[in-house]
Chain A
Amino acid sequence: MRFSPLVRMSGLAVAALSVATTAFAESNKNGPTDGDIGFQRSVTPVMDSITGFNNYWLVPIMIGIVVIVTVLMVYIMIRFRAKANPEPSKVTHNTMLEVVWTLVPVIILMALAVPSMKLLYFADVVPEAGLVIKATGNTWNWEYSYPDYEDKVDSYISSIVDIPHDEKRVNGEALTHDQIIAKLGADLGGRPYLLATDAPLVVPVDTIVKVLVTSNNNIHAFAVPQFGIKIDAVPGRINETWFKVKAGEEATYYGQCSEICGVNHAFMPIEVQVVSKAEFKRWIANGGSFTTQYSQNTIGGTQTATAQ
């Protein structure tokens, strides 16, 4: 009976946490949200699996272990403080106890390894793809090409929408983001600063997209949190990953370079515009540009010129 408060407390923590995670999952917002403590909203099966593994396995196990150890420690600190227990015991061995605290973690870890392996093989083995795109890291922007439609869409560079660094300080005073955003005005078009680019990667919804990733110079990493993908762009090597944005989730998604690559590591975002299959066909037929302005996005002037 001594441990019943402990059990109740850890149960409470797990319950509070599952409430928290579901609460955050219900918002339909894309991209990061200030103050959120969990993952960004998942829009692919892989990120669904990662989120599920997080919510139903990792977080309960992590919180459970921390709570058990902490409660035990606090209990020991109170029960066995010098005042309450002036004569220390001489017990230094208990083989049974030692076997138990070796075996119980082994069992927990083996249980954890099963869904973890399932997740790994699901995320890592690329299924038959409906579209292949190639992302090449440059210093410091991304170059996208469509090997399936080489004759229709030229490869194009996707750079951040930003002002030069040396204009970010006026008379020694640093510009705030709001001031920079005001300067960028229509180029940003209401999209999030430091995530928006002048030419997004365009892909169709509900299609398995295989991404080939490489680099021309330093190592970069291609990552889109809501897709659950992150893969290094390494010179001399083509890595691959995949995603399939669920039907009805046409929108713009953002990621950031995730391997340090030099001075502008923080300034080479990844913008993915997911459109309907019909719109994607029109985009291809039109040589990689939209006939009508799509969503709130504009394709930047200079880059569209290379794309056409």
Chain B
Amino acid sequence: MSNSHDHKPGFFARWFFSTNHKDIGTLYLIFGILSGLIGGYLSFMMRLELMEPGFQVFDNPHTFNMYVSMHGLLMIFFLVMPALIGGFGNWFVPLMIGAPDMAFPRLNNLSFWLLPTALICLLISMFIPGNPSGDGFAGSWVMYPPLSTSGHSGPAFDFVIIGLLAAGFSSIFGAINFITTIFNMRAPGMTMHKMPLFAWSVLVTAWLLLLALPVLAAALFMLFFDRNAGTGFFDAAKGGDPEMFQHLFWFFGHPEVYIMVLPAFGIISHIISTFSRKPIFGYLGMAYAMVSIGVVGFIVWAHHMYTVGMDVDLKAYFLAATLIIAVPTGIKIFSWLATMWGGSLSFSIPMQWALAFIFLFVVGGVTGVALANAGYDAAVHDTYFVVAHFHYVLSMGAVFGIFAGFTYWFGKMSGYLYNKYLAAAHFWFFFIGVNLVFFPQHFLGMQGMPRRYVDYPAEFAFYNKISTLGAMVTLVGVLFFLLWLAEAFIVKRKAADNYWGEGANTLEWTLPSPPPFHQFNTLPRIK
């Protein structure tokens, strides 16, 4: 690739007015790491509080609940989504499909800069009055009214609403950009059925964002009007229905969980294929499994609401529909295994993350099948069993996907190679740590410990202690992450164009590391 016209603007123009998909991707990744550290700090304080029965850290249960709420919102909207979609999506969708940039570069810039705005709103909310009990919004990331309306009379939740609207519009704009780019800017010869699976995963994710987030935005607007304009959408005393909010929220919220994990599916597929030195097994099945997960993901939302008092036939429907999702998910797991079967496997750092992802996702997946059963759900709903389940698929599914992608593409993005011993320490401390944190929580949930509790009966002490010890191990893992990151930029080991060898055969590996400021001035042709 010729890069004789590789003209970069000055620092301020380059990073603050950026219209370059790679720079914007980098901004998203830096932003994701920063908000992940804040969200991680919140969860670490929660674990310290729960290390033993009694009040350890927090004097005011409201503050603990606020930490719970902000941890959820930060991790979902400001770590996982920006890193996977904004970060890797921006960086690698154009590279993989052979496009010079995204379809709407200025919209791309807007998408990014809405996010820091949103984050600032959320951070401000933590320090202004939430309700008479304390500062900040403490109604959990699900924001159910009346707790989020009459239950939070202070301005904190208004800041949360505004922040989430900004983040939501950021995602909608990003989704429009991805869909347009993928449909219109593929290199000559790259048909949809030749498109790399990561691009497929981002395409499906973008459709989910485009269809789900407006519903969240509507629900947030209604909350805002209920709080500030005297409307009664969710107020039973005015003829509204608080449960209507839950339906709107989960109509967004369930696709949201696939929004978080589908891009990770895409990344894992490339890594498994690269380090098996084999093309992905059952490519079409893999692509359409993601499409069907996306479609079915829209018709199962009320399985989050089995205890709200729904009609039993409705529960039966949601039970059946939810079980169906296990089928395409199973196809993905089996296809990854079949890709490795007969391959020539090497266990580089990204492959370790990817293999751990498969294992952890299966563990989180089978507890998901358990939770789908509406009758059974009464025993574990809103207990730590649910916390364990969704952290296995998110904190360990999506986040392992992020680390897998980050260690896979770090050399491509930065131009530098990392120290593999430091990166291996990061992986092992993190892997052992998160399992110690979350596996015992299954047992706590079975025994009946409810979620979002600042203090618990002494009968739940043992596994809570183990869980907190696990958080400390995880913290060591995070420190190793920051360490290898810093080390790589200090030592500056130059990365070759294709440092993973022949297994890595998507278009980004045909470019230098890092790629030139503008790539594919002559479009590549796909055979």
A residues lining the B interface (CB < 8 Å): 31-40, 46-47, 49-50, 53-54, 58, 61-62, 65-66, 69-70, 72-73, 76-77, 80-82, 85-94, 97-98, 101-102, 105-106, 109, 112-113, 116-117, 119-125, 139, 165-166, 168-169, 174-177, 180, 192-195, 217-219, 221, 223, 225, 228-232, 234-237, 239-240, 255-267
Q: Is the interface on chain B under 10, 10 to 19, 20 to 34, or 35 or more residues? A: 35 or more
B452 & A265 in contact (Cβ 8 Å cutoff): yes
Bound together, the chains give a CA A77 to CA B151 distance in angstroms of 53
Contacts of A46 in B (CB 8 A): 378
Q: Report the minimal beta-carbon distance from A226 to chain B, rounded to whole angstroms.
A: 8
8 closest A-B pairs by beta carbon, nearest first, are A236-B236, A89-B342, A239-B309, A119-B375, A225-B448, A120-B375, A32-B459, A263-B133
Q: Report the minimal beta-carbon distance from B403 to chain A, rounded to whole angstroms.
A: 19
B366 & A221 in contact (Cβ 8 Å cutoff): no
A33 & B447 in contact (Cβ 8 Å cutoff): yes
Q: Quick one: which of A88, A124, A175, A218 contacts B277, CB cutoff 8 A?
A: A88
Instruction: Answer whether residue B343 sits at the interface, using C-beta atoms and an 8 A cutoff.
Output: yes
Bound together, the chains give a CA A118 to CA B53 distance in angstroms of 39
B378 & A123 in contact (Cβ 8 Å cutoff): yes
Q: Report the minimal beta-carbon distance from A179 to chain B, rounded to whole angstroms.
A: 8
Q: Quick one: which of A39, A89, A122 contacts B379, CB cutoff 8 A?
A: A39
Q: Report the minimal beta-carbon distance from B45 to chain A, rounded to whole angstroms.
A: 14
The interface bits of chain B over 283-299 (1 if a CB of A lies within 8 angstroms of the residue's CB, else 0) are 10100000000000000
Q: Quick one: which of B237, B362, B450, B453 contacts A69, CB cutoff 8 A?
A: B362
Bound together, the chains give a CA A196 to CA B418 distance in angstroms of 55
Q: Quick one: which of B56, B309, B362 contacts A65, CB cutoff 8 A?
A: B362
Please report which residues of chain B, range 189-243, place their CB below 8 angstroms from some CB of chain A when the two chains form the complex.
236-237, 241-243
The interface bits of chain B over 334-363 (1 if a CB of A lies within 8 angstroms of the residue's CB, else 0) are 110110111111110000000100110011
Contacts of B449 in A (CB 8 A): 32
A262 & B243 in contact (Cβ 8 Å cutoff): no
Interface centre among B138, B369, B376, B381 (most CB of A within 10 A): B376
Q: Quick one: which of A98, A122, A236 contacts B285, CB cutoff 8 A?
A: A98
Q: Report the minimal beta-carbon distance from B62 to chain A, rounded to whole angstroms.
A: 4
B453 & A61 in contact (Cβ 8 Å cutoff): no
Q: Report the minimal beta-carbon distance from A119 to chain B, rounded to whole angstroms.
A: 4
Contacts of B312 in A (CB 8 A): 120-121, 124-125
A176 & B359 in contact (Cβ 8 Å cutoff): no
B323 & A112 in contact (Cβ 8 Å cutoff): yes
The interface bits of chain B over 241-252 (1 if a CB of A lies within 8 angstroms of the residue's CB, else 0) are 111000000000
A-B contact pairs, 27 of them (CB 8 A): A36-B446, A37-B442, A58-B376, A61-B369, A65-B362, A69-B358, A72-B337, A73-B337, A77-B345, A80-B276, A87-B344, A92-B279, A92-B282, A119-B376, A165-B59, A168-B55, A177-B54, A218-B146, A228-B379, A234-B309, A235-B242, A236-B237, A236-B241, A256-B448, A258-B451, A259-B382, A266-B452
Bound together, the chains give a CA A207 to CA B431 distance in angstroms of 49
Q: Report the minimal beta-carbon distance from A2 to chain B, rounded to whole angstroms.
A: 13
Number of A-B contacts (CB under 8 A): 318
Bound together, the chains give a CA A76 to CA B324 distance in angstroms of 28
> Which chain B residue lies CB-closest to A49?
B375
Instruction: Answer whether residue B463 sits at the interface, using C-beta atoms and an 8 A cutoff.
Output: yes
Instruction: Answer whether residue B139 sits at the interface, using C-beta atoms and an 8 A cutoff.
Output: yes
Q: Report the minimal beta-carbon distance from B334 to chain A, rounded to whole angstroms.
A: 4
Instruction: Answer whether residue B506 sits at the interface, using C-beta atoms and an 8 A cutoff.
Output: no
Q: Quick one: which of B65, B134, B355, B455 contacts A73, CB cutoff 8 A?
A: B355
Bound together, the chains give a CA A7 to CA B451 distance in angstroms of 37
> Which chain B residue lies CB-closest to A237?
B309
Contacts of B370 in A (CB 8 A): 54, 58, 62
Q: Report the minimal beta-carbon distance from A81 to chain B, rounded to whole angstroms.
A: 5
Q: Report the minimal beta-carbon distance from B436 to chain A, rounded to whole angstroms.
A: 15
Contacts of A32 in B (CB 8 A): 447-449, 457, 459-460
Contacts of A34 in B (CB 8 A): 458-462
Interface centre among B150, B242, B283 (most CB of A within 10 A): B242
Instruction: Answer whether residue B316 sits at the interface, using C-beta atoms and an 8 A cutoff.
Output: yes
The interface bits of chain B over 97-138 (1 if a CB of A lies within 8 angstroms of the residue's CB, else 0) are 000000000000000000000000000000000010110001
A120 & B316 in contact (Cβ 8 Å cutoff): yes
Bound together, the chains give a CA A72 to CA B355 distance in angstroms of 12
Q: Report the minimal beta-carbon distance from B182 to chain A, rounded to whole angstroms.
A: 23
Please tell me which stretch of B81-89, B258-266, B325-333 contacts chain A, meaning at least 4 of its Cβ atoms lie within 8 angstroms of it: B325-333
A81 & B345 in contact (Cβ 8 Å cutoff): yes
Contacts of A62 in B (CB 8 A): 366-367, 369-370
Q: Report the minimal beta-carbon distance from A34 to chain B, rounded to whole angstroms.
A: 5
B315 & A124 in contact (Cβ 8 Å cutoff): yes
Bound together, the chains give a CA A53 to CA B62 distance in angstroms of 37
Instruction: Answer whether residue B15 sits at the interface, using C-beta atoms and an 8 A cutoff.
Output: no
